[in-house]
């Protein structure tokens, strides 16, 4: 930057809480979850959802397991009102799900909101007004007493007008938000919350929800935790109160602020799927819930088909989940780095049923989210030898010997460099086949091979093409490979070499199974090269592997 920010910005003041308790606490249970996708999330969209899209999204939230869903601001627009009515009149709200609506502290808006909720069984009526010094001064020109009076009158009007719904069997809870809580003086925040609670008169059966929003994220997460712990200590009816969080993500630490505030005593969390919301977004409920899941805590939310959840979200909101979004992004379980690939590959076999999850670099089992293991290791020019071998084995069944990993890794990495892109599994297979199996420009081609045995002696006969000329060889040895190598040496047409290592396995199963051989040849100058061969006959597969290694040496 070309200027110093010191004279333009001021640091956020800390909270005087020298005996804070939250740093020593650990998460032991999940909070109460409330989705605000259909209100806070929807208002942040360039093209808000239609009623039909909101109905589909509501059904998704119910399926995930949300028991409290803020469905809109029915007094603000007809589409919000109509959506609320359709949910109720079409019996789309399960008996254990509460409809939450947002409303300003105005009598006419409260009456209109209650009209939208008629027939609902479980209601959370969310009242709010702005409380911070800047809002009081710049927007309202109001004093503390004026602002407190707005909140108190709003709760009084709600109690006055909700009687008919209660008489019809509705259970109504109050949620109150001092908007811009985190930039409001703490003594005033607790004062206005106490005044609202005085009017509502909560009971153990009908607790008040005091929502303390970080409407704009101004400070570090530890300061937010201090604010929440301070409030929890100073609320006189804490046992009759559910302290709720509503963090935004202006500083990119909404998840951290929520997790620390839960340690500080909060009971409830409001947020959206994948963090959609105004400016940099709301809290990502998916991330917080799955963070708890990875610590062995039952969350009550079902993300076992995260791909479907993401598909509905992206289609209804026209937003995209970034590829590096925690848990949900396309690349979050993908390793390109060679060292990471090697660690994943080596730790995976140690993961056994019934044992705690412990795969290096992968903090959650992808299967918990309905994802497969196939995309965990992907290949580009930064990838290592272990990753290429992993793809060939898991996708295509080629179990390369460890000493061969370096060779094939270089072949594939050179290809990725030339292509300048990530290689798909099919491209990796083609590179392996071209290098070791097909070899279209190979100097040596095997045309026929057969053996005969007499006692412990094996005699082989082979027909080759060497540099375009037909060559027939015979050889004797203690096995087909030894006999072929002796016959090759006798021709004088190939470099002198010895077999250094040999591996084989079947490829496929049943009548269609083929044999795969991997043979490492060591040449007179000291360097070694692998070859690979595939055939329905294991002897022929081994001979093809020798020819493959020779061709690689000659080319």
Check residue 423 and give its pLDDT.
80
Output b/e per residue, 44-56; b: 16+ Cβ within 10 A. Answer: beeebbeeebbbe
* pTM for the full predicted model: 0.74
Note whether 72 and 310 are within 8 A (CB): no
Give the DSSP H or E segment for 370.
Answer: none
- Range 256-260 contact pairs with CB under 8 angstroms and sequence separation of 24 or more: 256/221, 257/214, 257/217, 257/221, 257/224, 257/225, 258/283, 258/288, 259/27, 259/221, 259/288, 259/291, 260/22, 260/221, 260/222, 260/224, 260/225
pLDDT value for 352: 86
pLDDT score at 223: 98
Return the domain boundaries, the chain.
31-317, 338-438, 444-554
List Cα–Cα distances, 424 to 26, 140, 377, in angstroms. 42, 59, 11
- CA-to-CA separations, 443 to 466, 497, 517, 553, in angstroms, rounded: 6, 16, 20, 10
Q: How far apart are CA 242 and CA 139, in angstroms?
A: 29
User: CATH assignment of 444-554?
Assistant: 3.30.160.270
Tokens 């239609």 correspond to 50
d(CA 424, CA 419): 12
Q: What angle do CA 182, 188, 192 make, to 5 degrees?
A: 100
Nearest to 285 by CA among 47, 67, 54: 67
What local confidence, expressed as pLDDT, does residue 383 receive?
A: 58
Coil, strand, or helix at residue 509?
coil
The reported pLDDT for the residue numbered 377 is 52
State the 10-residue block means of pLDDT for the chain, 555 residues long.
81 95 98 97 93 96 98 94 97 98 98 98 97 94 96 98 97 97 97 98 97 96 98 98 98 97 98 96 97 98 96 94 92 76 81 89 91 59 67 89 89 85 87 88 90 91 92 93 94 90 88 89 92 94 96 89
Three-class DSSP category at 336: coil
DSSP letter for each residue of 14-66 = PP--TT--GGG----S--EEEE-IIIIIHHTSSSPPPHHHHHHHHHHHHHHT-
Q: What is the CATH number of domain 338-438?
A: 1.10.1220.20
Protein fold of 31-317: TIM Barrel (3.20.20)
Amino acid 463: pLDDT: 95
Contact assessment for residue 241 and residue 207, using Cβ atoms and an 8 Å cutoff: yes
Please state, in angstroms and rounded to a whole number, the distance separating the CA atoms of residues 292 and 273: 16
- Confidence at residue 374, expressed as pLDDT on a 0 to 100 scale: 56
Q: What DSSP assignment string belongs to 150-191? A: HHHHHHHHHHHH-HHHHHTT-EEEEEEEEESGGGS-HHHHHH
DSSP three-state, residue 389: helix
* Residue written as token pair 């005033």: 188
């Amino acid at each position: 930057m070309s200027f110093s920010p010191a004279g333009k910005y001021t640091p956020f003041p800390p909270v005087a809480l020298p005996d804070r308790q939250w740093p020593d606490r650990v998460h032991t249970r999940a909070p109460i979850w409330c989705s605000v996708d259909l209100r806070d999330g929807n208002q942040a969209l360039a093209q808000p959802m239609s009623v039909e899209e909101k109905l589909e999204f509501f059904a998704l939230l119910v399926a995930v397991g949300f028991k409290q869903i803020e469905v809109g601001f029915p007094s603000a627009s007809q589409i919000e009102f109509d959506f609320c009515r359709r949910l109720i009149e079409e019996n789309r709200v399960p008996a254990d799900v509460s409809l939450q609506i947002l409303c300003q502290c105005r009598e006419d808006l409260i009456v209109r909101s209650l009209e939208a909720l008629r027939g609902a069984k479980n209601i959370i009526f969310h009242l709010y007004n702005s409380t911070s010094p800047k809002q009081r001064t710049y927007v309202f020109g109001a004093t503390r007493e004026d602002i407190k009076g707005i909140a108190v009158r709003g709760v009084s009007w709600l109690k006055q007008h909700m009687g008919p719904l209660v008489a019809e069997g509705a259970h109504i809870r109050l949620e109150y938000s001092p908007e811009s809580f985190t930039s409001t003086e703490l003594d005033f925040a607790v004062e206005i919350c106490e005044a609202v609670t005085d009017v509502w008169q909560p009971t153990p059966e009908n607790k008040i929800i005091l929502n303390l929003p970080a409407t704009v994220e101004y400070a570090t997460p530890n300061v937010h935790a201090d604010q929440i712990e301070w409030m929890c200590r100073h609320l006189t009816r804490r046992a009759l109160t559910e302290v709720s969080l509503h963090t935004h993500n202006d500083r990119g630490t909404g998840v951290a602020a929520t997790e620390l505030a839960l340690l500080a005593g909060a009971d409830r969390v409001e947020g959206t799927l994948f963090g959609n919301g105004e400016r940099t977004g709301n809290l990502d409920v998916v991330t917080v819930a799955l963070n708890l899941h990875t610590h062995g805590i039952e969350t009550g939310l079902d993300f076992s088909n995260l791909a479907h959840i993401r598909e509905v979200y992206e289609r209804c909101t026209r937003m995209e989940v970034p590829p590096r979004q925690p848990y949900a992004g396309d690349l979050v379980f993908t390793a390109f780095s060679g060292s990471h690939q090697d660690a994943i590959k080596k730790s995976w076999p140690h993961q056994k049923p019934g044992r705690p999850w412990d795969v290096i670099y992968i903090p959650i089992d992808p299967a918990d989210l309905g994802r497969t293991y196939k995309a965990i290791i992907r290949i580009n020019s930064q990838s290592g030898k272990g990753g290429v071998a992993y793809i060939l084995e898991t996708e295509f069944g080629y179990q390369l010997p460890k000493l061969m990993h370096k060779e094939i890794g270089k072949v594939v990495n050179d290809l990725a460099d030339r292509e300048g892109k990530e290689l798909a599994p099919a491209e990796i297979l083609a590179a392996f086949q071209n290098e070791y199996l097909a070899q279209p420009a190979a100097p040596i081609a095997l045309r026929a091979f057969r053996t005969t045995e007499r006692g412990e002696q094996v005699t082989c006969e082979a027909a080759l093409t060497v540099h375009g000329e037909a060559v027939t060889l015979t050889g004797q040895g203690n096995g087909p490979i030894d006999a072929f190598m002796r016959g090759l040496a006798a021709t004088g047409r190939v470099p002198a070499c010895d077999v250094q290592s040999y591996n084989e396995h079947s490829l496929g199963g049943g009548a269609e199974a083929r044999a795969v051989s991997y043979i490492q040849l060591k040449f007179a100058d000291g360097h070694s090269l692998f070859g690979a061969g595939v055939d329905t006959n294991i002897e022929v597969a081994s001979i093809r592997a020798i020819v493959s290694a020779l061709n690689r040496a000659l080319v």
